[in-house]
Structure 1
Protein backbone atom coordinates (compact mmCIF):
# COMPACT_ATOMS: atom_id res chain seq x y z
CA UNK A 1 0.00 0.00 0.00
CA UNK A 2 1.10 3.53 -0.72
CA UNK A 3 0.13 6.75 1.05
CA UNK A 4 -1.37 9.02 -1.60
CA UNK A 5 -3.01 11.85 0.35
CA UNK A 6 -3.03 13.55 3.76
CA UNK A 7 -6.57 14.59 4.65
CA UNK A 8 -7.01 17.66 6.84
CA UNK A 9 -9.25 15.75 9.23
CA UNK A 10 -10.95 12.40 9.69
CA UNK A 11 -14.17 13.57 8.06
CA UNK A 12 -12.35 14.49 4.84
CA UNK A 13 -10.50 11.17 4.95
CA UNK A 14 -13.72 9.19 5.29
CA UNK A 15 -15.41 11.24 2.56
CA UNK A 16 -12.56 10.55 0.14
CA UNK A 17 -12.43 6.91 1.19
CA UNK A 18 -16.11 6.58 0.30
CA UNK A 19 -15.64 8.39 -3.02
CA UNK A 20 -12.79 6.05 -3.94
CA UNK A 21 -14.86 3.03 -2.91
CA UNK A 22 -17.61 4.18 -5.26
CA UNK A 23 -14.99 4.02 -8.04
CA UNK A 24 -13.93 0.51 -7.03
CA UNK A 25 -10.75 1.53 -5.19
CA UNK A 26 -10.35 0.26 -1.64
CA UNK A 27 -8.57 2.84 0.51
CA UNK A 28 -7.34 2.68 4.09
CA UNK A 29 -7.12 5.62 6.49
CA UNK A 30 -3.92 5.43 8.50
CA UNK A 31 -3.47 7.26 11.79
CA UNK A 32 -7.15 7.47 12.71
CA UNK A 33 -6.44 5.94 16.13
CA UNK A 34 -3.72 8.51 16.84
CA UNK A 35 -6.17 11.41 16.86
CA UNK A 36 -6.95 10.86 20.54
CA UNK A 37 -3.33 11.62 21.36
CA UNK A 38 -3.42 15.20 20.06
CA UNK A 39 -1.56 17.27 22.59
CA UNK A 40 1.08 14.59 22.86
CA UNK A 41 1.67 14.25 19.11
CA UNK A 42 2.05 16.84 16.35
CA UNK A 43 -1.29 18.01 14.98
CA UNK A 44 -0.38 17.71 11.30
CA UNK A 45 0.58 14.64 9.31
CA UNK A 46 -1.16 12.07 11.48
CA UNK A 47 -3.74 11.00 8.89
CA UNK A 48 -3.02 9.37 5.57
CA UNK A 49 -5.06 7.80 2.81
CA UNK A 50 -3.41 4.68 1.39
CA UNK A 51 -4.29 2.46 -1.57
CA UNK A 52 -2.70 -0.48 -3.35
CA UNK A 53 0.40 0.51 -5.32
CA UNK A 54 -1.13 -0.35 -8.70
CA UNK A 55 -4.16 1.91 -8.02
CA UNK A 56 -2.22 4.89 -6.63
CA UNK A 57 -2.12 6.96 -9.85
CA UNK A 58 -5.84 6.52 -10.54
CA UNK A 59 -6.74 7.31 -6.92
CA UNK A 60 -4.61 10.50 -6.97
CA UNK A 61 -6.30 11.55 -10.21
CA UNK A 62 -9.77 11.03 -8.72
CA UNK A 63 -8.88 13.00 -5.57
CA UNK A 64 -7.44 15.85 -7.65
CA UNK A 65 -10.60 15.98 -9.77
CA UNK A 66 -12.78 15.83 -6.66
CA UNK A 67 -10.88 18.64 -4.93
CA UNK A 68 -11.03 20.77 -8.08
CA UNK A 69 -14.79 20.43 -8.55
CA UNK A 70 -16.98 23.52 -8.48
CA UNK A 71 -20.57 24.00 -7.42
CA UNK A 72 -22.83 24.03 -10.47
CA UNK A 73 -24.34 27.43 -11.22
CA UNK A 74 -27.76 27.68 -9.62
CA UNK A 75 -26.97 24.99 -7.03
CA UNK A 76 -25.50 27.35 -4.42
CA UNK A 77 -27.70 29.06 -1.83
CA UNK A 78 -28.59 32.68 -2.63
CA UNK A 79 -27.67 34.05 0.77
CA UNK A 80 -24.34 32.21 1.15
CA UNK A 81 -22.53 31.91 -2.19
CA UNK A 82 -19.77 29.28 -2.20
CA UNK A 83 -20.96 27.83 1.14
CA UNK A 84 -22.74 24.51 1.38
CA UNK A 85 -25.60 24.48 3.87
CA UNK A 86 -26.56 21.16 5.42
Structure 2
Protein backbone atom coordinates (compact mmCIF):
# COMPACT_ATOMS: atom_id res chain seq x y z
CA UNK A 1 0.00 0.00 0.00
CA UNK A 2 1.19 3.50 -0.83
CA UNK A 3 0.01 6.79 0.60
CA UNK A 4 -0.71 8.80 -2.54
CA UNK A 5 -2.49 11.96 -1.38
CA UNK A 6 -3.30 14.00 1.73
CA UNK A 7 -6.76 15.53 1.40
CA UNK A 8 -7.39 18.87 3.12
CA UNK A 9 -10.51 17.64 4.91
CA UNK A 10 -12.91 14.74 5.24
CA UNK A 11 -15.24 16.07 2.54
CA UNK A 12 -12.47 16.15 -0.07
CA UNK A 13 -11.35 12.69 1.05
CA UNK A 14 -14.82 11.22 0.58
CA UNK A 15 -15.20 12.84 -2.85
CA UNK A 16 -11.87 11.41 -3.97
CA UNK A 17 -12.68 7.96 -2.57
CA UNK A 18 -15.88 7.93 -4.61
CA UNK A 19 -14.14 9.16 -7.74
CA UNK A 20 -11.40 6.55 -7.41
CA UNK A 21 -13.94 3.78 -6.76
CA UNK A 22 -15.88 4.79 -9.88
CA UNK A 23 -12.65 4.30 -11.86
CA UNK A 24 -12.02 0.85 -10.38
CA UNK A 25 -9.36 1.90 -7.86
CA UNK A 26 -9.77 0.45 -4.38
CA UNK A 27 -8.61 3.15 -1.98
CA UNK A 28 -8.50 3.37 1.81
CA UNK A 29 -8.69 6.52 3.89
CA UNK A 30 -6.15 6.43 6.71
CA UNK A 31 -6.81 8.71 9.65
CA UNK A 32 -10.59 8.99 9.29
CA UNK A 33 -11.03 8.15 12.97
CA UNK A 34 -8.54 10.85 13.99
CA UNK A 35 -10.60 13.73 12.60
CA UNK A 36 -12.61 13.91 15.83
CA UNK A 37 -9.41 14.67 17.70
CA UNK A 38 -8.74 17.94 15.87
CA UNK A 39 -7.77 20.47 18.49
CA UNK A 40 -5.80 17.88 20.38
CA UNK A 41 -3.87 16.63 17.34
CA UNK A 42 -1.91 18.56 14.71
CA UNK A 43 -4.34 19.82 12.03
CA UNK A 44 -2.31 18.70 9.00
CA UNK A 45 -1.38 15.23 7.83
CA UNK A 46 -4.16 13.36 9.64
CA UNK A 47 -5.82 12.07 6.48
CA UNK A 48 -4.16 10.07 3.74
CA UNK A 49 -5.47 8.15 0.76
CA UNK A 50 -3.70 4.84 0.27
CA UNK A 51 -3.98 2.38 -2.60
CA UNK A 52 -2.35 -0.86 -3.63
CA UNK A 53 1.12 -0.47 -5.16
CA UNK A 54 0.00 -1.55 -8.63
CA UNK A 55 -2.74 1.13 -8.72
CA UNK A 56 -0.71 4.00 -7.23
CA UNK A 57 0.39 5.67 -10.49
CA UNK A 58 -3.10 5.48 -11.99
CA UNK A 59 -4.70 6.88 -8.82
CA UNK A 60 -2.19 9.74 -8.65
CA UNK A 61 -2.95 10.61 -12.28
CA UNK A 62 -6.71 10.57 -11.62
CA UNK A 63 -6.31 12.87 -8.61
CA UNK A 64 -4.05 15.24 -10.56
CA UNK A 65 -6.65 15.44 -13.35
CA UNK A 66 -9.40 16.02 -10.78
CA UNK A 67 -7.45 18.86 -9.16
CA UNK A 68 -6.71 20.44 -12.56
CA UNK A 69 -10.36 20.35 -13.74
CA UNK A 70 -12.03 23.59 -14.77
CA UNK A 71 -15.74 24.35 -15.06
CA UNK A 72 -17.34 23.89 -18.45
CA UNK A 73 -18.38 27.14 -20.13
CA UNK A 74 -21.92 27.96 -19.10
CA UNK A 75 -21.82 25.79 -15.96
CA UNK A 76 -20.77 28.62 -13.68
CA UNK A 77 -23.03 31.31 -12.23
CA UNK A 78 -22.44 34.93 -13.29
CA UNK A 79 -22.01 35.99 -9.67
CA UNK A 80 -19.29 33.38 -8.98
CA UNK A 81 -17.08 32.95 -12.05
CA UNK A 82 -14.80 29.93 -11.86
CA UNK A 83 -17.21 28.04 -9.59
CA UNK A 84 -18.86 24.78 -10.60
CA UNK A 85 -22.62 24.51 -10.27
CA UNK A 86 -23.52 21.12 -8.82
What TM-score, normalized by structure 2, do the two folds share? 0.94
**Post-superposition offset of 1:80:** 1.4
- Is there any run of 5+ residues in structure 2 with no aligned partner, and where? none
Separation in 2 of the partners of 1:83 and 1:71?
7
Does residue 59 (structure 1) correspond to residue 52 (structure 2)? The answer is no
- Is there any run of 5+ residues in structure 1 with no aligned partner, and where? none
2:22 alignment counterpart = 22
**Runs of at least 4 residues of structure 1 off by over 2 A?**
83-86
Separation in 2 of the partners of 1:78 and 1:45?
36
2:3 alignment counterpart = 3
Note the alpha carbon deviations across 1:44-84, whole angstroms, 9 max, x for none: 00000000011000000000001001001111111211224
2:31 alignment counterpart = 31
**Post-superposition offset of 1:85:** 4.9
Separation in 2 of the partners of 1:42 and 1:56?
26
1:70 alignment counterpart = 70
Q: How many residues align?
A: 86
Mean Cα deviation higher: 74-83 or 55-64: 74-83
